[in-house]
Amino acid sequence: MKINTDYLTFQTEGEIDIIDLKYMLENLVKKSEVTEGLVSLNVIGSTGALTAIEYESGVLDDFRRILKELVPKGANYKHDVIDSNAHSHLRASLIGPSISFTIKNGQLQLGTWQNPVFVCLDIRPRSRKISVTIIGK
Amino acid sequence: MKINTDYLTFQTEGEIDIIDLKYMLENLVKKSEVTEGLVSLNVIGSTGALTAIEYESGVLDDFRRILKELVPKGANYKHDVIDSNAHSHLRASLIGPSISFTIKNGQLQLGTWQNPVFVCLDIRPRSRKISVTIIGK
Amino acid sequence: MKINTDYLTFQTEGEIDIIDLKYMLENLVKKSEVTEGLVSLNVIGSTGALTAIEYESGVLDDFRRILKELVPKGANYKHDVIDSNAHSHLRASLIGPSISFTIKNGQLQLGTWQNPVFVCLDIRPRSRKISVTIIGK
C-alpha cells in the first residue's frame, strides 16, 4: 500500500475562472504508480472550490452565470466591509472544498465528458494551490 | 490494510431520479470485510451527483422542487444549443461528484434517517455507474 | 500505514449554527501520529453538513443569509407536514455530508483563513456527532 501527497499549482484570473484538472491529475496518478485506490483533492484557501463539470465553454459560462445569479456580488454582505469578496467565500462554501475519485487499472474513474475542476472564485488573479493525496496499491 | 474498488450500476429515469445507495453500499462494505476505514464514492458522468438525504418521499419531492427553482430548465443556457441538458450539468456541479463515509465496527457511520443517494439529473433514462473505493483494516 | 476512526461530538444551537472544526481536527491529526495522509469527515445525521469557510463573524452571517434566501424556511414543503424541518434537510443535501483534507508534515493542508466547519441546519439545539477517518503513515 502506497500513499503520496502532492500539490497542483497554477495561476488563476479570479471571478469564476474554471481550471481543468483532468490532465494534471492523470499525470500525478501515473507518477504515483498506484493502479487501484483513491485520489482525494482539497483546495488550499477559502475563495476556491472543487467540483466536476463537462469542460465545454458554453456550460462553463452557464455555470458562471448561475453562480452569479444564486450568490450575487456586492449584495450588501457584512464581510464586504472587511474585504469586498463575500460572494467569493459564499460561492466557495456552497460548492465545497474537496472531491475524490477512484483509481482502477491505473485510470481515474471519470466519465468521458466529466472533468474535475478548480473554481477560482476570488476577485483578483492569484497563484493557487491544491493538495492531492493518492492512496492505493 | 485492504483496498477494494468496485462499481454500483443501476437504471435511472432522468430529471431528478434519486436512488437510495444505502443497502448497496452496506453490501459492498460487508463483502470487503473492512471493519474500520473509509468508503469513498464518485459518480462516473457529468449529469449525476452524490449527496445524503432522508429517503422520505416528501423531502425527496422538496429536493426536486428546490433544484428546479434554483437552476431552472431551459433558461436560455449556452450549452442547450449543443445538448438540451445544461440544467443537468449545472445542478450536478453544484451538488458535487463525490461523498465519503467512515466505516467503524463494520458499519457505515450514518444517521438513522440519513441515506447516501445518487441524484440522476440527466434528461432521459440511463444506465448509470458509480465508482466505490473501500480502504481499511 | 495507519488507519484511525474517531468522532467529534458537540452541542449545537440549530438554525444554522456554524461550528469551527479546525482545532478539534488538528488535535485528532496530532493524536493519530500520521504525518502524511488523508483526513476524511462525514456528518452523522441528515440535518447537518460539512464545508469550509473563513471563520469570521460577518461572512458566517452572510452564509446564514444566503442559505435562508436560497432555501427559505416553511415554503410549503411536503416534508413539513411530517416534521417542520424540510429546509434543514434541503440545505444539508445541497452543501453535502462529507469533506476531506490532505495531511502533510503532520499538518492539515488548509489556507490561513480556511476553516473546516460543521453547519447545523436543524431547527433545535442538538448533540451532534461527526465521524472522522485518518489514513496515512
Q: Which of B62, B96, B116 sits opposite C86 (nearest CB)?
A: B62
Q: What is the mean pLDDT of chain A?
A: 98
The C-alpha cell at B127 is 444506465
**8 Å CB contact of B135 and C132:** no
Give the C-alpha separation, C50 to C137, whole Å.
25
Give the gap in angstroms from C-alpha C38 to the nearest C-alpha of chain B. Answer: 10
Which CATH superfamily is B2-136 part of? YjbQ-like (2.60.120.460)
**8 Å CB contact of A89 and C1:** no
Q: Which of B95, B96, B100 sits opposite C40 (nearest CB)?
A: B100
Half-sphere exposure of C41 (CA within 13 A, CB side): 31
Q: What is the mean pLDDT of chain B?
A: 98
Q: What is the ipTM for the molecules in this complex?
A: 0.97
Mean of the pLDDT values across residues B121-134? Answer: 97
Q: Which of A63, A99, A100 sits opposite B90 (nearest CB)?
A: A63
* Secondary structure percentages of chain B, helix, strand, coil, to 5: 30, 40, 30
A 10 A CB-CB count for A83 gives 16
Report pLDDT digits (tens) over A24-76: 999 999 999 999 999 999 999 999 999 999 999 999 999 999 999 999 999 99
Q: Where are the domains of chain B?
A: 2-136
Q: Give the list of residues 6+ apart from residue A127 with CB closer than 8 angstroms, or none.
A: A9, A10, A11, A12
Residues 64-123 of B with CB under 8 A from C: 65-66, 70, 94-96, 99-104, 109-111, 113-116
Mean of the pLDDT values across residues B42-70? Answer: 98
